[in-house]
Amino acid sequence: MNLAYLDSLPEVANKFKVDLEDGEKVIFNAKLSTFGTEKDRMLGSEGAKFTLTNKHIIVNNGSGIWTTDIAEDIVKGSGKRVKGRTLLIFPYDYYSILLNKEVIYNDGREKLTGFHFYFKGADKEKFEKIANNVFN
């Protein structure tokens, strides 16, 4: 992970008011169209709040807050943009983040090993630029 790249980026407004640690700054935030597990099991729908700091990815889906430590939890080389079509008609376009260990949630009934983040409009390209410099 290229955490030095994140540290070099300018701070932006903490518009979703996430709690920050000492030395942590918000780099990017966006409302997602949706987000889910690595198998696209939905975790949050329209309006889920995505915040990227120089240390964490934080997503508030309205029911809970998902926090991922970039240095500790994310597999190097993930953060890829995935585009395609299902049934040759329905397009998809998301970012895949893989985790290095399984996360148990929903009172122990479900597990995940990654996230799919579906950004809207120009936020796709903004996140892609950051992801290409940090995760690869």
The residue assigned the tokens 């090993």 is 113
- What predicted TM-score, i.e. pTM, was given to this entire model? 0.91
Asked if 115 and 97 touch (Cβ cutoff 8 Å), the reply is yes
Is there a contact between 115 and 38 (Cβ–Cβ < 8 Å)?
yes
- At 66-84, the pLDDT tens digits run 999 999 999 988 889 899 8
Q: pLDDT for 1-59, tens place per residue?
A: 889 999 999 999 999 999 999 999 999 999 999 999 999 899 988 889 999 999 999 99
Q: How is residue 58 written in tokens?
A: 């934080």
* Interatomic CA distance for residues 25 and 76, integer angstroms: 21
Q: What CATH code is carried by the domain that includes residue 55? A: 2.30.29.30
Total domains in the fold of the chain: 1
Residue range of the domain that includes 59: 3-134
3-state secondary structure of 86: strand
CB atoms within 10 A of CB 74: 21
Tell me the backbone φ, ψ of residue 41, rounded to 5 degrees: -75, 125
